[in-house]
Structure 1
Amino acid sequence: MKQLLNQVFNWKKHIQWLILPLVMMILVSGLFATPAFATGVYQIPNLTPNTWVVDEAEVISRANEAKISSSLEELAKQTGNEVRFVTVRRLDYGETPESFTKALFEKWFPTTEAQANQALLMIDTVTNGSAIITGEQVKSLLKDEIAKSVADETLMAPLRDGDKYNQAFLDASDRLIAVLSGEPDPGPPQTVEKVQVEGTFKKTEAEEKGNAIAWVVGLLIAATIIPMATYYIYLAIQPSSNG
């Protein structure tokens, strides 16, 4: 019996050395893996001809991306006004949708002349934060209040109804094309406010990180308590085995 317990203690030491590296790996991945997917302006490729949608977050289906691109290309041919859509998964630390969009707008269109007939709408899909930047020629049709409504209302309405990104960009595309074609502004979509009865909200980034930390703490506690419990069991059994 005593020999068996000695073997248990030897295994206890091995288990501790196995658990602790595992815990550290989980801790590191939980705390630092998230920023690895952040996107900065420098990671967005230079604009190429006939590129109308840059879906870095991969939330728009290929069919809808092709449909939107075709419509925006036709708008450019008919009016000279050009619209680009950009999606990213997560922004770099300290970046906002407005600062990101402005920087990307200036990267793609570095001069006032190049910016004049351009509009750029972006969203980051972690926070669903959006922004739109327009050039001076576009502003003559797409007033700032309408542009803001497109980003804050037209784009957001389908997202509040279940992260329907395809519908969001189709609606935004239709509204922008109408306005930039000289047609009356169709306005934002009419929405019916729904009452949330049970909590089915999407977890925030902070909640996900909190869950990862909770798992790490739990594993650390287990790595400490299990060997201690084994030790006390050994002490309790030892006198009877000697007897």
Structure 2
Amino acid sequence: MTQLSYQIYNWRKSLLGLILSVMLILAAIVLVAAPAFATSLYEMPTLTAGSNTWAIDKAEVLSRLTEGELSTSLEDLAKKTGYEVRMVTIRHLDYDVTIESFTNQLFDKWFPTPEAQTNQILLALDAVTNNTAIRIGDKVKSVMSDEIAQSIASETVGVPLRQGDKYNQALEDATVRLVAVLSGQPDPGPPQVTENVRAERTFKTAAETDKGSSTVWVIGLLIAATVIPMATYYWYQSMGS
């Protein structure tokens, strides 16, 4: 092997080693960082009974106008009835956490005693799965049954989401129904669902796009991390022969 060939051999060897290292690091970052985008209970702001915080949009799916209107309506409700409703949207949960368990844990974190919980309502929404959950205090049950509470979470919120991720409408409708029931007015009930034939959607939602892109990157990096070492090995063998 000439001096030039030896230098080219070393240069290619170093380059392939660098490429392999970079690919492995990128694969590790993607695999480790993916769950890091999940909303943790400890990322939620500190809140207690009587706090002037009503809507927390961690998922960033609400307009500023809607968030302001929700806060105004829920604050007025609290002043008139003493019932405090909090609405929370989150982007993603850890793999071992459900929206129900997250809601219960957050409810207990914010209102740790039976006295603090008694007049509280917490409605939470996971914007990736569009799953919802609600938790209500004991005093609330005197004016709003568990059945109505669950209907608000699954139907009043759920129907606009199933019709096209209408987050603003979903929480606005939930607020209207909550205000009516907690104020002692007749329950307006869940939204009426009309069976319309929907044209097949030709575009992806933001959540689907995010999931698809992440999956493609992970698969591509894993394949590269497998193929490159094999290619490097066979290249070394061919150079040595």
Change (3 A) 1:194 1:172: farther
Other-structure match for 1:213: 218
Note the 1:163-202 alignment, pairs <5 A.
Answer: 163-191=165-193, 192-195=195-198, 197=200, 200=203, 202=207
Other-structure match for 1:125: 127
Query: In structure 2, what is the Cα distance between the partners aligned to 1:165 and 1:198?
Result: 18
Other-structure match for 1:203: 208
RMSD (Å) for aligned C-alpha atoms: 3.0
- SS of 1:214's partner is helix
Other-structure match for 1:10: 10
**Counterpart code for 1:225:** A
Farther-moved stretch of structure 1 (189-198 vs 111-120):
189-198
Is residue 12–residue 227 contact of structure 1 (8 Å, CA) maintained in 2? no
Is residue 16–residue 232 contact of structure 2 (8 Å, CA) maintained in 1? no
Bigger RCO of structures 1 and 2 (CA < 8 A, at least 6 apart): 1
Change (3 A) 1:214 1:79: same
Cα offset for 1:8?
4.2
- SS of 1:185's partner is coil
Deviations 1:68-119 (A, max 9, x none): 0000011111111111001122223422211211121122222222222111
- SS of 1:123's partner is strand
Farther-moved stretch of structure 1 (164-173 vs 9-18):
9-18
- SS of 2:208's partner is coil
Cα offset for 1:229?
6.6
- SS of 1:20's partner is helix
Aligned length: 235
Other-structure match for 1:74: 76
Is residue 76–residue 82 contact of structure 1 (8 Å, CA) maintained in 2? yes
Query: In structure 2, what is the Cα distance between the partners aligned to 1:161 and 1:3?
Result: 69
Deviations 1:3-54 (A, max 9, x none): 7655543332122122112211221122111221223323322216210012
Query: In structure 2, what is the Cα distance between the partners aligned to 1:215 and 1:160?
Result: 32
Deviations 1:135-174 (A, max 9, x none): 1221122211111111111112222223222221111111
Query: In structure 1, what is the Cα distance between the partners aligned to 2:107 and 2:196?
Result: 34
Change (3 A) 1:217 1:4: farther
**Counterpart code for 2:221:** V
Change (3 A) 1:59 1:227: same
Gaps of 5+ in 1: 239-243
Other-structure match for 1:109: 111
Other-structure match for 1:38: 38
Query: In structure 1, what is the Cα distance between the partners aligned to 2:57 and 2:175?
Result: 14
**Counterpart code for 1:197:** E
**Counterpart code for 1:145:** E
Cα offset for 1:132?
0.2
Change (3 A) 1:5 1:230: farther
Cα offset for 1:124?
1.9
Cα offset for 1:67?
0.7
Is residue 31–residue 209 contact of structure 1 (8 Å, CA) maintained in 2? no
- SS of 2:45's partner is coil
Gaps of 5+ in 2: none
Other-structure match for 2:26: 26
Query: In structure 1, what is the Cα distance between the partners aligned to 2:97 and 2:222?
Result: 31
Query: In structure 1, what is the Cα distance between the partners aligned to 2:39 and 2:180?
Result: 31
Query: In structure 2, what is the Cα distance between the partners aligned to 1:204 and 1:144?
Result: 36
Query: In structure 1, what is the Cα distance between the partners aligned to 2:161 and 2:141?
Result: 26
Query: In structure 2, what is the Cα distance between the partners aligned to 1:193 and 1:139?
Result: 36
